[in-house]
A and B are shown apart, each in its own frame.
Chain A
Amino acid sequence: MKKINFGLLLVYLFVGIFAIITVFPFIYMILGGLMSFQETTTIPPTFFPHHLQWGNYGKVFAEAPFAKYFLNTLITASVTTIVSLFNSILGAFALTNLRFKGKAVVKVIMLSLLMVPGEAIIFTNYNTIARMGLLNTYIGLVLPFLTSIFYMYYLMTYFGAISPTIYKAAMIDGASDWEYVWRILVPMSKGGLFTVGLLSFISGWNSFLWPLLVTNEDSMRLLNNGLSAFASDAGSETELQLAAATLTVLPILVIYFIFRKQIIRGVVRNDLKA
């Protein structure tokens, strides 16, 4: 006869409870966004809506320019990702493969800047952007984020893992540095670049404080700012708030579920090495 293992049962219970606590808000958000107003405020609380109120989404789009928020977010997150990736590739290549005077100094400066919290410079950057007259513009939204020391260092670990003889071989084969970067380094680091791209896009999509500072026109807002403004305006219409929240989260969750392996591996990789 097999004895019940109480220790194991406890472990399952523990993991189970926390799994529910973690996932419940997401499920509740999706379901709540499909409830009627009455259902969201009843006691005991409703969990499954009687009739799925798809109309909630219509109302959200009618009450606030969410389509515009989507577009703005997509543009800023994409531009930030592509340009910062491009700059990081070039910088990481120079610091990995090229020898030049001052390299050590550059590395030390970059490493120390890595420790500067974004929150400590965001307000002065706001001031810079304001004085450049770039408030409420796409350029203002992306400009300070077009380069990322963090991603540059991250790429350096990928580039550094490629045998230095590959670079020497390319030099003897007659390739210029530029050709080496685009025909050898980049294709050989596809996986790493893709992961960096994903992480950059996700953090761009979820950015909040910076766009809150540099945009105040509704037409220039990003999703999260639009969402928080909407949550204040929509006041007690909880079902609409939840529908709007679902709209914001869903695209990223879809990307996350498709590329979960790359994303998780990417986060673990760079932070274990930090």
Chain B
Amino acid sequence: MKTNNKKAWLYLLPTIIFVSLFSIFPILRALGMSFQSGPLINLQWTGVSNYQYIFTDPEFWRALKNTLLYAVIAVPSALVISIFLAWSIFSKIRHQSFFETMFFMPYVTSTIAIGIVFRYIFNGDYGMLNFLLRLIHFPAPNWLDDPSMNMTTLILFGIWTSLAFNIVILMGALRNIDPNYYTLADMYGASGNEKFWRITMPQLVPTIAFLLTMNIIGAFKIYTEVYALFNGQAGIGNSATTAVYYIYNKFQMVGTPGVAMAATVVLFLIILVVTFLQRKMMKRIGR
């Protein structure tokens, strides 16, 4: 067989063309545009002014702060809930695949459509959630129209949407654990708690680390959830703005593509660092 089969390039040609045009070129161009100002049709080189602009723009800092808030609250909460759900279903419930199918539904369904339902449920006047809260004499805030509540609403919605993926991946990892470990533990008389903390958790660590970083990266890319929940706005008075929202706004609405691309580059670098840290972490865990 040939050691240098030139025909391989023919098979890779479609991929290479599309990837160059729509992956490599846009990265380079985004990098270039981040140093340019003006409208799209008349860009001028202006050095690092766009970067200076975004780092002094309170709006950008708010986007980053919101993202951080989301990453620190929504991501771990969703992960803890997912771990307990996955473990409960896996070890205590008979109809595993039924529950798995049910819990995975949000992953395949349109965020926009689900956002409409949540807007209805979160509605301050006639929403189901506030009705239930009042029923048990809890305060019933105005989830959608009160700027101070917007991030809370987004985080709740975020937890709901991210459970699906987490649970399914965790279930997969749980199934991969050799059942002989449990048989052996039973023979030594380990309790359910001991089995969970001494066998299950250590085996799940790589998966949890993977989900944690995937979710954190996901937090930086949030856009559609916000759009869906606040009907095209980033919350009241942009209170729930995110990085991608900021970029979209600067690119499409305000017409300053340079600023948008500077923010893109920053976002890209942050994600790259998180990915890099994940790799290092996974390697250390793998050892």
- Contact surface of A with B, Cβ cutoff 8 Å: 7-8, 11-12, 14-15, 18-19, 21-23, 25-26, 28-29, 32, 40-45, 86-88, 90-91, 93-95, 98-101, 103, 106, 110, 113, 115-121, 123-128, 143-144, 146-147, 149, 152, 168, 171, 177, 202, 205-206, 208-209, 213, 223-224, 227-228, 231-232, 238, 241-242, 244-246, 248-249, 252-253, 256-257, 260-261, 263-264, 267-269, 271-272, 274
Contact of B113 among A28, A121, A224, A232 (CB under 8 A): A224
Contact assessment for A21 and B18 in the assembled complex, using a CB-CB cutoff below 8 Å = no
User: Which chain A residue has the least Cβ–Cβ distance from B14?
Assistant: A87
Name 21 interchain pairs, CB-CB below 8 A, sorted by A: A14-B84, A15-B89, A22-B103, A25-B117, A26-B117, A93-B11, A99-B2, A99-B4, A123-B30, A123-B252, A123-B260, A126-B251, A144-B18, A149-B15, A209-B223, A231-B112, A232-B231, A242-B116, A244-B113, A260-B97, A264-B101
Note all chain B residues with C-beta closer than 8 A to A21: 160
Choose among B21, B97, B171, B260 the residue with the greatest number of A CB atoms under 10 Å from its CB: B21
Contact assessment for A128 and B22 in the assembled complex, using a CB-CB cutoff below 8 Å = yes
Contact assessment for B14 and A90 in the assembled complex, using a CB-CB cutoff below 8 Å = yes
Contact assessment for B102 and A228 in the assembled complex, using a CB-CB cutoff below 8 Å = no
Is B59 an interface position by the 8 A CB rule? Answer: no
User: Which chain A residue has the least Cβ–Cβ distance from B266?
Assistant: A120
* Bitwise interface map of B from 169 to 182 toward A, beta carbon under 8 Å scored 1, else 0: 10111001000000
- B residues 1-30 with Cβ under 8 Å of A? 1-9, 11-12, 14-15, 17-19, 21-27, 29-30
* Bitwise interface map of B from 132 to 176 toward A, beta carbon under 8 Å scored 1, else 0: 000000000000000000000000000010011100110111001
What's the tally of chain B residues with a CB closer than 8 Å to chain A?
99
Given the known inter-chain contacts A117-B221, A119-B223, please indicate yes or no for A100 contacting B105, CB distance below 8 A. Answer: no
Is B216 an interface position by the 8 A CB rule? Answer: no
Contact assessment for B120 and A91 in the assembled complex, using a CB-CB cutoff below 8 Å = no
Contact assessment for A120 and B267 in the assembled complex, using a CB-CB cutoff below 8 Å = yes
Q: A90 CA to B264 CA in the complex, in Å?
A: 32
Contact assessment for A171 and B117 in the assembled complex, using a CB-CB cutoff below 8 Å = no
Q: A40 CA to B3 CA in the complex, in Å?
A: 69
Contact assessment for B109 and A15 in the assembled complex, using a CB-CB cutoff below 8 Å = no
Q: How far is the CB of B104 from chain A (nearest CB, A)?
A: 6
Note all chain B residues with C-beta closer than 8 A to A43: 125-126, 131
Note all chain B residues with C-beta closer than 8 A to A40: 120, 126
User: Which chain B residue has the least Cβ–Cβ distance from A103?
Assistant: B8
Is B187 an interface position by the 8 A CB rule? Answer: no
Note all chain A residues with C-beta closer than 8 A to B27: 116, 120-121, 124
Note all chain A residues with C-beta closer than 8 A to B8: 94, 98-100, 103
Note all chain A residues with C-beta closer than 8 A to B227: 208, 228
Q: A253 CA to B141 CA in the complex, in Å?
A: 32
